[in-house]
A and B are shown apart, each in its own frame.
Chain A
Amino acid sequence: MNFSSLNLPVIKLLVAKDWLLFQKQLAACVLAGIVALCLIGMATGWSFYLGSLLLIIVLVSASCFSISTSLLVERKEHTLAFVMSLPVTPLDYYLAKLVGSLVTFLVPFLVMLAGTMLVILFTPLPDGLVVLSLLIFGHVLLAYTASLSVAMAVESEGWNIFAMISSMVLINPFIMLLGQLPAISDHVKTDTIVFGPVVVSILLGQLVVGVAVLIATGWVHCRKKSFY
């Protein structure tokens, strides 16, 4: 990979293009996310569970829309050949897709993450939920990077759908697993926010694995022999 010869102006244009194409879905996701946060913020039993479920659905939808709009549709509708005929290298394209996809996903993701934190801290909900929420958001981000990597490396639509669904479906066993860990479950219903070694390790693990997956994908992508 030669980073010194990146065509930055074209990379910026490609990122802006992806942002533009994702705007409508982005607005819908943010709107649905706000509804979910309002339900969570009501802090009653039924509204909390309904809001949490809706929030996870919105995050999964944002993830799928982002990957689909940015990568899968481009390949399926033969616009990839148009993009790759522009003065870009496979590395330029990879970085443009990486940044474009991350931006289109991270905007609704961070809005909802910030909203969730605010709702937990400024409503009667126990503040201990902050840690559990961060770990769940970390899982969603990791699942997104895994799906993004598969979408970049594998051209089969079936495998891409499988990767998106399976990585997100794992959120249920992940939440159950977190519930079994005393370092987390002991503080969920209290007003103390405890970032113990277990929590920090899981968060760091999610971050490291996510970054490693994206780097490996870049390496694979730059060795591909067809771009159309």
Chain B
Amino acid sequence: MTTAFSLSGVTKRYENFALRDIDLSMPEGQVMGLVGVNGAGKTTLLRILSGLALADAGAVEVLGHAMPAQQVAAKKDLGFATEDMRLFKTRTLRWHMDFVRAIYPGWDEAYATELLRRFDLRAEQTMTGYSHGQRVKALLMLNFARRPRLLLLDEPTTGLDPVARDEVLEALADVLRDEARSVIFSSHNTKDIEQMADTITFVHDGALLASREKEAFLDDWRRIVCLGAWLPDKIAWPEIAAARQNGSILELKVRQFSDGLLKRLQAKGVEIRSTEPMSLEDIFVTTVRAGGVA
């Protein structure tokens, strides 16, 4: 199986932030969701993959091309859109479409027209008159219509109203129907990531906390509500990421759920009242607050 990208020992230092020793890869045809708080390093990671930032150390490969040496070859099959990326405001969207079409031979005009209609964008309007949501949709349209093998999307749904967000996610779902295409996207909205991604990657404070298949993540984590007065020792109970006592109610959030764990808990004299799956957001918050072990 070919890899869409791979990062090995990648480090990038800024004055007040450093992305440290990142090892991460993704097979082609997959969708990876990047989850992290503001300033965690998601954007830096995507900029390194897109060639907009060069790593200080480590090896970066995108679609089989070493970066930055072979970045032109990689960028020919790469789409990159960030929430703060802008188009030329005095030019029309049609001008941008012609500009991008002249560069990418794979530009699909019929699909571009379809996206214009779906996103309700006017091609002859200059970008000055576009709202934030329209700008984001225009940028995504310019990326989608060139049919890239790998799409890097940084916060593509941030700041969009619910209708625009739904339109964007629907178009993204269309892209993902083609199994040869790969997507890595970051979002504050973990629901979007939970809905779209095959693999989830947690980034926090410049480090990779975890990167696993979504189903495995969701299967392993559980919120267990018990009756009893007992607080687990973190060393003896590594499966338990968080514990909170509220009166006689004990709430446990566990990272490695199993029937054996329930039996061990019962042996400690606690009465299990319920076991519930956790949302991705809850898993992420618990992981960060537990010191970054997922």
Contact = CB atoms under 8 A, between A and B. Distances in A.
A189 interface: no
Contacts of B76: 87
A89 interface: yes
Nearest to A82: B85
A89 B75 CA distance: 10
A49 B28 CA distance: 69
B103 A13 contact: yes
Contacts of B75: 85-88
Interface stretch (B51-59, B182-190, B211-219, B223-231): B51-59
Contact of A78 (B68, B73, B85, B90): B85
A21 to B, nearest CB: 7
A127 B283 CA distance: 82
Contacts of B56: 225
A13 B54 contact: no
B17 interface: no
B201 interface: no
A81 interface: yes
B88 A226 contact: no
A87 B72 contact: yes
Given A78-B85, A228-B47, A85 B103 contact: no
Contacts of B88: 17, 21, 79
A88 B99 contact: no
Interface residues of B, number: 28
Counting contact residues on chain A (CB < 8 A from B), the size range is 20 to 34
B102 interface: yes
Interface in A91-118: 92
Interface string B65-106: 000100111011010101011111111000000010011000
A85 B96 CA distance: 14
Contacts of A81: 52, 82, 84-86
A77 B78 CA distance: 23
A13 B86 contact: no
A7 B50 CA distance: 17
A86 B103 contact: yes
A46 interface: no
A5 B99 CA distance: 22
Interface in A1-29: 5, 7, 9-10, 13, 17, 20-21
A225 B54 contact: yes
Q: What 4 pairs between A and B have smallest CB-CB spacing?
A: A87-B75, A78-B86, A85-B80, A225-B54
Interface of A: 5, 7, 9-10, 13, 17, 20-21, 77-79, 81-82, 84-89, 92, 225-228
23 contacts: A7-B72, A13-B99, A17-B88, A21-B91, A78-B84, A79-B86, A79-B87, A81-B85, A82-B85, A82-B86, A82-B87, A85-B51, A86-B75, A87-B71, A87-B103, A89-B71, A225-B53, A225-B54, A226-B47, A226-B53, A226-B54, A227-B51, A227-B53
Given A13-B99, A78-B84, A86-B75, 19 more contacts: A9-B103, A79-B86, A79-B87, A81-B82, A82-B139, A85-B78, A86-B103, A87-B73, A87-B75, A87-B76, A88-B75, A89-B68, A89-B71, A225-B56, A226-B47, A226-B54, A227-B51, A227-B52, A228-B47
